[in-house]
Each structure stands twice: as structure tokens, then as C-alpha cells.
Structure 1
Amino acid sequence: MPHTADKRILSEIRSLLWLSDLEPLNSKSVLSAWLEAVRREAPACVRLLEIRLGRLDTGFADRAVAGTPIPLLRGGDPGTAVRAMADALETDCPRVRTGPDSTPFHDRQGR
């Protein structure tokens, strides 16, 4: 039998998914709903951060195991992404996303 807090979290997830923008339920939207429900139930000393970053330019794509690496679009700067995550934790922003130019930004709205 689920614990009472677990029941409340499951109820929050169901209501968040029901009230979503009728987007297809994929793993990202389900995880986002779960994080939002846990965020509402978590004690004040616990902070949850949802991070959805695009491709980062780590140099890994330049080091093919065999043959020539395929050309990829330039990714975002990993240092900038880490700073955005640290800033989000410091300012209590629940989400970090990347824009079309791979620049991370804080998303307080959640959509």
C-alpha cells in the first residue's frame, strides 16, 4: 500500500498531466509532471531542479571510435550550462532550458 505522501504525489501527477497543454505524453512531460508534484510535497530544505539542455560542445563528437566523425551542428558551451544550473539553484529557479542558439536560460513558467 503506498504511503500517504506517495498517494498525494501520485494525485498531483495525475492532475498535472490532465491539465497539461494536451501535448503527447512522452518521458519528458511525465518526468516534468513528477518533478512538479514532488516539488510541491518536498520539505523546504530539498530543492529540485529540472534541466533540459540541448547538445553541448564537449569535443566528444570530434573523437570518433573508428573512421571520420560525422559533422554536427555546434553545441552550447558546457561551462555556461554549469553556471546556469548553479545560478538556478542559488535563485530557486526550478527549471533550466536551452534556447535555439544553445544558450541556457532559467524557465520559471514551466512551459
Structure 2
Amino acid sequence: MSTSSAAAVMDVVPERFPYRDEGCELSQSCLRCPLPQCKYDDPGWLQREKRKARDSRIVEALWHDGISVSEASARFALSPRTIFRIVKRATQDRPRLSGLEDHARAA
């Protein structure tokens, strides 16, 4: 095997690879990213986390602020049906919120 073909087959050490750390819309640098997992490793992960955070804000508004489903629908720009789905998931995941479904239906 010639030297040039051996060099082509040789794996480049990561420290010597001309890696461009361009980050993403969440962080300017991959190496300084605050996320526990890269959004590119599991593309659905970031979307799920954003949805969980949104759902928590909706449940908080319904439960603590006492707003109605129609008010939550307008505030979060979602359909009333989506708000009811969020309430159902929240009460299944956290039984202590069982009264939330009754509140949502009554409002």
C-alpha cells in the first residue's frame, strides 16, 4: 500500500478535523449549548419539550388563574378541543389535578 492511499484510509483524529461549530437557533456554539441533548440527535425531543412547557403554562392558567377553556384558547392561540386534550393528559399524568377536568367542562 502506498503512503498516499494509507493516508486516505487513516481516520482523522477529532482534534485535527476542521470542525465548524456553528450551533443552531438555540445556541451559537454546540460546545457551549445549555440543552441536555442536541436537538439534532433526536429531532422530536425539542418539540416535545416545548409542547410540555406550553401545556404546563396552560394547566397553570386554568388551575391557578381560574380562566375558562375559551379564554385559554384565545390566550394560547389553540382550539378549545386542544385545550381539552391538554387537560385530559394533565389529569391522567397528575391525579391531584382531577378537579381540573370538571372546571374545564363547567367553564
TM range (shorter): under 0.3
Larger helix proportion, structure 1 or 2?
Answer: 2
More strand by share: 1
Q: Higher relative contact order at CA 8 Å, sep ≥6: structure 1 or structure 2?
A: 1
- TM-score normalised by the chain length of structure 1: 0.23
